[in-house]
A and B are shown apart, each in its own frame.
Chain A
Amino acid sequence: MSDTRFSEEYEGPLLEVTDVKTYFETDRGVVRSVDGVSFTLERGKTIGIVGESGCGKTVLARSVMGLLPRRGLIREGSVRFEGKELIGLTPREMRAYWGSQLAMIFQDPMTSLNPVMKIGKQITESIREHLDVEKKYALELAESLLRSVRIPEPQRRLDDYPHQLSGGMRQRVCIAVALAAGPKLLFADEPTTALDVTVQAQVLDLMAEQQRERFMAMVLITHDLGVVAGRADEIAVMYAGRIVEKAPASVLFRDMKMPYTQALLSSIPKLADASHTRLATIPGRPPDLVKPPKGCKFAPRCAYVQDRCGEEEPPLTPGASAGHEFRCWFPVGTPEGADALARNVERRLPAALVLAAADTVEV
């Protein structure tokens, strides 16, 4: 691995994802898990990818990293990391990037550590895969890594097995493993979903701190808008394999245009709600990715749906603020949107009633 391949002088964005499509061939047909996703990410920045389960978040991350099983996989588009195209590289070629350039933290720290390998070993394996260092030095590095992810008594923990640690501790170890070879881009795939709420914030803060220290870019994948709020520079909301709204974080929360984003946000329970308040839900289920509906994919569940939505798929249209894009014919917070919602409430469309009842139509 020559160092010239990863020139530090590269000026463009760290990661450019352009029209990435990831399909799986199955017996039922072609599953369009990711269907034309584009985004760019600068060094040291964070993009949050939000969506409910099955919307293609995880597949997108693994597709960008090239970690998907190759059987029956169709992967198109362009993924440029520091200007170098990653799609089309063999796993052997990708190995130059994995760990040292791109790293990933997984959802469940219970299963992403090897149960029969000591913590120290798992970290040093990763270090020694990329850096040609003595075992003793690798162990010292591992210890300092554990210290940097705030694990008490790192020296002693090196000799522990994963089952001797709590969930939060294990996720810290996973972070240490991912950071071992100093990646420039970290994918965090629902890193706190399996953790206690009390530990979640600590782990997220730790990741943000490490990101700042290492000037590392991060793709933060979550189903929880609350997790990315305040942590991501940009947020992309995914639905049925597509980005349906993308905006700088502050813009998204202030001026969301896509009814799906609004529905996601209103489904977060609020502390101010009285107890036994019905939780706001999004009626229906995500569409079948083998035979996605014509038109807007969210139309069957949308509170603002009109006839046009079932016919034509809205393109990504730029919003008022810079970097804001969304896919909707009747955007939230516009006169067309308000008319559409009013008509639907009149027609007693369940989704519209839920939205009206939740009383979170914020502008």
Chain B
Amino acid sequence: MPAPPDRPSDSTHADGLGRDVLVERPSEALLASELEGLVVDGELIPVAAIEADPKAHRHKLGVGAWLAIVWMALMVGMAILAPILPVGDPEETISAEEIREQGNCVTVERLGREIEQCNIAARGPFADDGGAPGYLLGGDGNGRSMAARLVYGARTSLFVATGAVLVGFVFGGSLGLIAGYFGGKIDTVLTGMFNVLLSIPAIILALALVSFLAPQSSEGAGVDPPWWRSSSMILIYAIGVVAIPLLGRITRAATLTWSQREFVLAARAQGAKNARIMIREVLPNVLPAMLSITLLGIAVAIVAEGALSILGVGVRPPTPSWGNIIALDRAYLLTGAPHIVLEPATLIFVTVLSLNYLGDVVRARFDVREAGI
């Protein structure tokens, strides 16, 4: 843009020190647009206020977000509907006789001899031993249907991850809200607690908690523990404790900024009690930040459950979870049946990706709303 060589003389004048000062004249067009508006009850409402329809921004979700939503709906639907899906029993090994009766035995040539293979263990889409007829996604190392195990595995994995983050959400969220709202000594103590928990490596903390909480072998191996002490629930407690400081700190930080807002003071000036202000005024504003971190947290918890399975403290077999499917048959990855590891790994990968993406979407929408205020 070329700089105007000469300003018209009326747009400059001398200031007190004799320097020329540029006087910006508001253009008439600007003034006219400001005056446009409706007169309601004697008050001029500018056009901008009338046209600001927040819904215009709200329903713009990208393709990526929709893909993520569809994927998550698929996974959650799969987990919930597992018993009525036509995938069979995840814990059942089909006998060789049954396979032969169904005509699913295959004849393979090995060492110059023809061998009839009726065991479908470790046979799958990528296995050396050929496909496993009847088993859509092949069989695992024990000859169980991978499809069934993945579907039921989704159930366990999502249950454990969601449950764990819910524990963090409820406990971390309320502690963070209290710390941020009241501040002072309460804040110092609670933040200190969060920091102590955060200073312990997460996986070691979870490992220690699982070992500590798991039913002792002396209690009798054959007896099923009550539901609240099942291996899934113990994983929920352990990962939940790890999630508490994460959600606690995010909630505290958001609460800190929101409780400085004037509407909190205004509510106090109207005689509202602290509990009401925290729950009715502050929490709804903090919730988007919490929700965003919750989605990310579920993704991390799914991976954490897998890591704990590989360390041998995951969901107890034969109950399948995505993590323990990988853990149990990880030896097959390099010995001819990589599908057993790759299938659950793919599910974990796409699910974690979707949750991360959705977390970002939630945060972005939260920002949009902030800007709209």
Known: A110-B373, A117-B284, A152-B40. A174 touches B271 (CB 8 A): no
In the bound complex, do residue B49 and residue A166 qualify as a contact, i.e. CB atoms below 8 Å apart?
Answer: yes
Least CB distance from B354 to A in Å reads 27
Q: In the complex, what distance in Å separates the CA atom of A113 from the CA atom of B265? A: 10
Q: Once bound together, how far apart are the Cα atoms of A199 and B45, in whole Å?
A: 10
Minimal Cβ-Cβ distance residue in B for A166:
B49
Q: In the complex, which residues of chain A have a beta carbon less than 8 angstroms from the beta carbon of B54?
A: 161, 163-164
B160 to chain A: closest CB distance in Å? 32
Query: A residues within 8 A CB of B272?
Result: 99, 125-126, 129
B242-284: which residues lie under 8 A (CB-CB) from chain A? 261-263, 265-273, 276, 280-281, 284
Nearest residue (CB) in A for B41 is A152
- Count contacts between A and B, CB distance < 8 Å: 100
Distance in angstroms from B278 CB to nearest chain A CB is: 13
Q: A67-B268, A150-B42, A178-B269 are in contact. List 17 more A-B contacts (CB 8 A).
A: A65-B269, A95-B271, A95-B273, A97-B271, A99-B270, A108-B262, A111-B262, A116-B284, A116-B285, A117-B280, A126-B272, A150-B43, A163-B373, A165-B49, A174-B266, A177-B266, A181-B270
Complex Cα–Cα for A180 and B267 (A): 12
Cβ of A114 within 8 Å of any chain B Cβ, yes or no, is yes
Task: Tell me the residues in window 161-178 of chain A with beta carbons closer than 8 Å to chain B beta carbons.
Answer: 161-166, 168-169, 174, 177-178
Count the A residues whose beta carbon is within 8 Å of the partner chain — how many?
47
Main secondary structure on A side of the interface with B: loop
**Cross-chain contact A164 with B271 (CB below 8 angstroms):** no
Is there an interface contact between B271 and A104, defined as CB atoms closer than 8 Å? no
Does residue A278 face the partner (Cβ distance < 8 Å to B)? yes
- Show the binding face of A for B, using Cβ within 8 Å: 65, 67, 71, 95-100, 102-104, 106-108, 110-117, 125-126, 129-130, 150, 152, 161-166, 168-169, 174, 177-178, 180-181, 198-199, 202, 276, 278
User: How far apart are the CA atoms of A201 and B147 in the complex, in Å?
Assistant: 72
CB pairs A–B below 8 angstroms (17 shown): A96-B271, A99-B269, A99-B270, A112-B262, A114-B284, A116-B285, A117-B280, A126-B271, A129-B271, A130-B271, A150-B41, A163-B372, A165-B49, A169-B45, A174-B266, A198-B44, A199-B43
**Distance of A297 Cα from B297 Cα, bound (Å):** 57
- Closest Cβ of chain A to B361, distance in Å, is 18
Q: How far is the CA of A174 from the CA of B263 in the complex (A)?
A: 10
Distance in angstroms between the alpha carbons of A180 and B270 in the assembled complex? 9
Measured in the bound complex, the distance between the Cα atoms of B266 and A178 in whole Å is 9
Known: A67-B268, A129-B271, A180-B270. Is A106-B262 also a contact (CB below 8 A)? yes
B13 contacts A by Cβ under 8 Å: yes
Q: Is the CB of A111 within 8 A of B269?
A: no
Q: Does residue B52 face the partner (Cβ distance < 8 Å to A)? A: yes
Question: Could you say which residues of chain B place their CB within 8 Å of the CB of A108?
Answer: 262
Footprint of A on B, CB under 8 Å? 13, 16, 40-46, 49, 52, 54, 183-184, 261-263, 265-273, 276, 280-281, 284-285, 369, 372-373
Q: How far is the CB of B272 from chain A (nearest CB, A)?
A: 6
Contacts of B267 in A (CB 8 A): 114, 125
Taken together as a complex, chains A and B put the C-alpha atoms of A199 and B40 apart, in Å, by: 12
User: Does A114 contact B281, Cβ atoms closer than 8 Å?
Assistant: yes
Cβ contacts under 8 Å, A164 to chain B: 52, 54
Q: Closest residue of chain B to A150, judged by CB?
A: B41
In the complex, the answer to whether A112 meets B266 with C-beta atoms within 8 Å is: yes
Return the chain B residue nearest A113 by Cβ.
B263
Q: Which partner residue on chain A sits nearest B53 by CB separation?
A: A164
What's the least CB distance linking A190 to chain B, in Å?
12
**What is the minimal beta-carbon distance from B49 to any residue of chain A, in angstroms?**
4
On chain A, the residues within 8 Å of B372 by CB distance are 163
Residues of A within 8 A of B13 (CB): 276
Contact, CB under 8 Å: A202 / B262: no
Which chain A residue shows the least CB distance to B54? A163
**A115 neighbours in B (Cβ, 8 Å):** 263, 285, 369, 373
